[in-house]
């Protein structure tokens, strides 16, 4: 269980409250009886081996996968009723970057939820998107065709789109995957800033070595939730060996011992 | 040059208007099929439509006693058969271990084979069913058979499809580019998927009289592929593909009217292919010539426009 202060007993709802969640694809369980609770302002990494259900956990929190059993609440409500307060950064490789569209256009998609059916993005939405591009240091790429972007730029475009959503809770699927060191730093500081402003972040993360540096909380997942807590509490060798079946590389540094 | 057909033969006006509209609509709708990599889906719909067309003809004859080859009768048949084959393919791939392509292929075979079989049966009836002689034109297309009523069918169905495309533009765009993100926004992905299918079916069905069920796929995909070479904006791509399709449609009708014995459908498709070939060669940035030039300028490094996600 995660909380920044003793808000747990106050009336303020948790940012994410997952209880006994089971999700299956076909007959295989992707998530098994998972419990995850995140207080507002949490900056949490979802860690676990391939096929552990990390993306599925995000999708369940977004309310886009059918659940077999269990309950998901985002800010105290069903995810379907909280879409305007939630932003999503899918895996960068899940889309075709040769799609005929521009950087600005993709970022403006972050306003579509607010616009609702039929309405077109206008000057306001454009300004919002340009602001987010500025924040991600992409302003001069606004008119660029997206097939011309590097991996790091693609990732920052997706993050800019999430910023435009102006959400309270951010679900991200491997935002650090395949980016260079400079981009990695700028993404890390973006996450830190968001958390400082009270936004909640739940992000799938693969690089165990950087978990303690970039995140304050960790969800250790392998179909079932193995541990949830602050990085200090749960991100130690014992838990990780269990999570990865003893195949954790020795160079994963500095767990809770510091 | 003086051409006899400029004297506005009313039949030719109808035919040319029809092929132009068909080209424009299928060009525009084809862009989404192209970007979603659903060309095969369009092919299955058009081949399956043959069974619907012949079936509707037989049914109409059985019910009314008189046979009709008007689109008002045949289009609903084509719509039903096209949709049914897609729905069956989907349920086969959901319930068995066959993948999507295989189950689509199976449905294409069943429906197209069934259509050919039924067609042969109709042709062998004695006494012959009046009007059946034009039915086989649906295989390769017979634009010249288009009547004024058919034209209205093309306009209303095609116009309706384009109107939906316009109204739901941003929803269809985000759903096509990033389906997972669009679901997270709360857009109903299942219904948008069905809508895309319905638009595709509509685009196919209005075109089969002109170019026939076999060549219809070319009219869907070729203008889109050509347009993609010239632009990196979806809206421009759709408008360009519509113009390419319309040009091919109009050109095909006029050319085949000017020269006896030229079949309209194949000419339309060949014109579209010519536009595609030119685009592939000449387009700035993506065109073969431009890329060869850029490659030479950069030494052996490929130009940036060539790459997608790495």
Please confirm whether the linkage preceding B48 is cis (ω < 30° from 0).
no
Answer whether residue B11 shows pLDDT above 60. Answer: yes
Per-residue pLDDT at B147: 86
Structure tokens at A149: 């972007």
| Interface mutation vs chain B, best among A63, A92, A99, most B CBs within 10 Å | A99
Instruction: Select the residue of A62, A92, A148 nearest B184 (Cβ to Cβ).
Output: A62
Query: Does domain B9-304 sit in CATH 3.40.50.920?
Result: no
Q: What is the pLDDT of residues A192-206, one digit of tens each?
A: 999 999 999 999 998
Residue A93 touches partner B, C-beta closer than 8 Å = yes
CB contact under 8 A, B309 and A93: yes
Picking from A227, A175, A237, the residue whose alpha carbon sits closest to that of residue A201 is A175
Residue A106 makes CB contacts below 8 A (sequence gap 6+) with A146, A157, A158, A161, B177
Structure tokens at B19: 């092929």
From A108-112, B152-156, B288-292, the region with the lowest mean pLDDT? B288-292
CATH number at residue A209: 3.40.50.300
Picking from B251, B298, B248, the residue whose alpha carbon sits closest to that of residue B273 is B248
Answer whether residue B129 shows pLDDT above 70. Answer: yes
Angle at B88 between CA B223 and CA B63, to 5 degrees: 90
Burial B50-66 (b: 16+ CB within 10 A, else e): bbbbbbbbbebbeeeee
A40 touches A196 (CB < 8 A): no
Position A251 in a domain: no
SS3 content of chain B, % helix, strand, coil (to 5): 80, 0, 20
**Band of residue A9 on the pLDDT scale cut at 50, 70, 90:** low
Picking from B211, B239, B221, the residue whose alpha carbon sits closest to that of residue B276 is B221
Answer whether residue A111 shows pLDDT above 70. Answer: yes
CB contact under 8 A, B178 and A109: yes
Q: Say how far apart CA B18 and CA B254 lie, in whole Å.
A: 12
Distance from CA of B310 to the nearest CA of A (A): 7
Residue A77 touches partner B, C-beta closer than 8 Å = no
Residue B284 touches partner A, C-beta closer than 8 Å = no
Q: What is the pLDDT of residues B172-201, one digit of tens each?
A: 999 999 999 999 999 999 899 989 988 998
Answer whether residue A250 shows pLDDT above 90. Answer: no
Q: Say how far apart CA B144 and CA B155 lie, in whole Å.
A: 17
Residue B251 makes CB contacts below 8 A (sequence gap 6+) with B267, B268, B271
Residue A92 touches partner B, C-beta closer than 8 Å = yes
How buried is B10 (Cβ within 10 angstroms: 0-12 exposed, 13-18 middle, 19+ buried)?
Answer: exposed
A21 touches A67 (CB < 8 A): yes
How buried is B125 (Cβ within 10 angstroms: 0-12 exposed, 13-18 middle, 19+ buried)?
Answer: exposed
**Scanning every residue of chain A, which has its alpha carbon at the shortest distance from the alpha carbon of B97?**
A26
From A194-208, B68-82, B102-116, B236-250, the region with the lowest mean pLDDT? B68-82
Residue A91 makes CB contacts below 8 A (sequence gap 6+) with A55, A173, A174, A177
Structure tokens at A79: 């995810």
Q: Say how far apart CA B157 and CA B24 lie, in whole Å.
A: 13
Picking from A51, A72, A47, A52, the residue whose alpha carbon sits closest to that of residue A60 is A72
Tell me the average pLDDT of chain A: 87
Please report the residues numbered 178 through 217 in chain A whose beta carbons come closer than 8 angstroms to any beta carbon of chain B.
Answer: 178
Q: Say how far apart CA A104 and CA A134 lie, in whole Å.
A: 11
Stretch B273-279: mean pLDDT: 95
Distance from CA of B179 to the nearest CA of A (A): 8
Per-residue pLDDT at B175: 95
Domain span including residue A37: 7-243
* Total tally of structural domains belonging to chain A: 1
Answer whether residue B1 shows pLDDT above 60. Answer: no
Residue extents of the structural domains in chain B: 9-304
Tell me the average pLDDT of chain B: 88
Per-residue pLDDT at B307: 45
Per-residue pLDDT at B66: 74
B87 touches B152 (CB < 8 A): no
**Band of residue A187 on the pLDDT scale cut at 50, 70, 90:** very high
Q: What is the pLDDT of residues B211-244, one digit of tens each?
A: 899 999 999 999 999 999 999 899 999 999 999 9
Per-residue pLDDT at B310: 38
Q: State whether ipTM is beyond 0.85.
A: yes
Terminus-to-terminus CA distance in chain B, angstroms?
53
Question: HSE of A158 in the Cβ direction (CA atoms, 13 Å)?
Answer: 31
Per-residue pLDDT at A30: 87
Position A249 in a domain: no
**Scanning every residue of chain A, which has its alpha carbon at the shortest distance from the alpha carbon of B307?**
A147
User: B131 or B97: whose pLDDT is higher?
Assistant: B97
Answer whether residue A256 shows pLDDT above 60. Answer: no
**Scanning every residue of chain A, which has its alpha carbon at the shortest distance from the alpha carbon of B305?**
A148
3-state secondary structure of B101: helix
Per-residue pLDDT at B105: 93
Please report the residues numbered 179 through 208 in chain B whose beta carbons come closer than 8 angstroms to any beta carbon of chain A.
Answer: 180-186
Per-residue pLDDT at A197: 92
Answer whether residue A6 shows pLDDT above 60. Answer: no
Instruction: Select the residue of A59, A96, A120 nearest B308 (Cβ to Cβ).
Output: A96
Q: Say how far apart CA B295 and CA B166 lie, in whole Å.
A: 39
B49 touches B208 (CB < 8 A): yes
Per-residue pLDDT at B138: 86
DSSP A77: B
B258 touches B205 (CB < 8 A): no
A186 touches A215 (CB < 8 A): no
**Band of residue A67 on the pLDDT scale cut at 50, 70, 90:** confident
DSSP B129: P
Picking from B198, B209, B189, the residue whose alpha carbon sits closest to that of residue B69 is B209
Angle between helical axes of B10-35 and B148-167 (0-180°, round to 10): 30
Answer whether residue B293 shows pLDDT above 60. Answer: yes
Position A130 in a domain: yes
């Amino acid at each position: 269980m995660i909380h920044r202060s003793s808000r747990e007993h106050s009336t303020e709802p948790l940012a994410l409250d997952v209880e006994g969640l089971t999700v299956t694809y076909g007959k295989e369980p992707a998530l098994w009886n998972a419990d995850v609770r995140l207080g507002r302002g949490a900056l949490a990494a979802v860690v676990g081996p391939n096929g552990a259900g990390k993306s599925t956990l995000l999708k369940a929190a977004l309310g886009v996968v059918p659940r077999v059993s269990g309950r998901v609440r985002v800010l105290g409500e069903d995810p379907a009723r909280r879409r305007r307060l939630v932003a999503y950064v899918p895996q960068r490789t899940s889309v075709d970057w040769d799609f005929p569209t521009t950087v600005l256009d993709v970022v403006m998609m972050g306003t579509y939820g607010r616009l609702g059916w039929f309405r077109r993005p206008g000057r306001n939405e454009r300004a919002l998107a340009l602001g987010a591009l500025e924040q991600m240091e992409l302003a001069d790429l606004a008119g660029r065709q997206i097939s011309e972007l590097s991996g790091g730029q693609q990732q920052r475009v997706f993050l800019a789109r999430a910023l435009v959503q102006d959400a309270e809770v951010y679900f991200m699927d491997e935002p650090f995957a395949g980016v260079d060191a400079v981009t990695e730093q700028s993404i890390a500081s973006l996450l830190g800033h968001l958390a400082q402003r009270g936004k909640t972040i739940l992000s799938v993360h693969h690089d165990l070595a950087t978990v303690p540096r970039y995140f304050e909380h960790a969800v250790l997942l392998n179909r079932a939730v193995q541990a949830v807590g602050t990085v200090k509490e749960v991100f130690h060798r014992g838990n990780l060996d269990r999570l990865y079946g003893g195949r954790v590389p020795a160079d994963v540094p500095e767990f809770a011992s510091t | 040059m003086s051409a006899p057909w400029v004297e506005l033969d009313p039949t030719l006006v109808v035919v040319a208007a029809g092929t132009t509209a068909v080209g424009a609509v299928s060009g525009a709708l084809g862009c989404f099929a192209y970007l979603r990599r659903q060309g095969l889906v369009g092919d299955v719909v058009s081949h399956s439509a043959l069974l619907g067309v012949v079936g509707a003809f037989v049914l109409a004859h059985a019910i009314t006693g008189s046979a009709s080859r008007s689109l008002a009768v045949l289009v609903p048949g084509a719509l039903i058969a096209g949709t049914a084959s897609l729905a069956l393919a989907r349920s086969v791939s959901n319930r068995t271990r066959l993948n999507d392509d295989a189950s689509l292929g199976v449905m294409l075979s069943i429906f197209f084979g069934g259509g050919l079989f039924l067609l042969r049966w109709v042709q062998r009836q004695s006494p012959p069913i009046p009007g059946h002689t034009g039915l086989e034109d649906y295989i390769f297309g017979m634009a010249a058979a288009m009547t004024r009523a058919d034209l209205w069918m093309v306009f209303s169905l095609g116009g309706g499809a384009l109107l939906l495309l316009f109204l739901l533009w941003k929803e269809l765009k985000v759903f096509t580019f990033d389906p997972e993100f669009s679901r997270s926004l709360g857009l109903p992905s299942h219904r948008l998927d069905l809508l895309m299918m319905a638009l595709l079916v509509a685009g196919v069905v209005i075109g089969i009289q002109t170019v026939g069920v076999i060549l219809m796929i070319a009219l869907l995909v070729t203008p889109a592929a050509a347009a993609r070479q010239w632009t990196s904006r979806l809206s421009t791509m759709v408008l360009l593909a519509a113009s390419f399709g319309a040009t091919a449609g109009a050109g095909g009708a006029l050319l085949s009217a000017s020269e006896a014995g030229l079949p309209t459908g194949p000419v339309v498709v060949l014109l579209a292919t010519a536009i595609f070939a030119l685009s592939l060669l000449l387009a700035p940035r993506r065109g073969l010539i431009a890329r060869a030039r850029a490659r030479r300028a950069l030494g052996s490094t490929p130009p940036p426009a060539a790459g997608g996600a790495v």
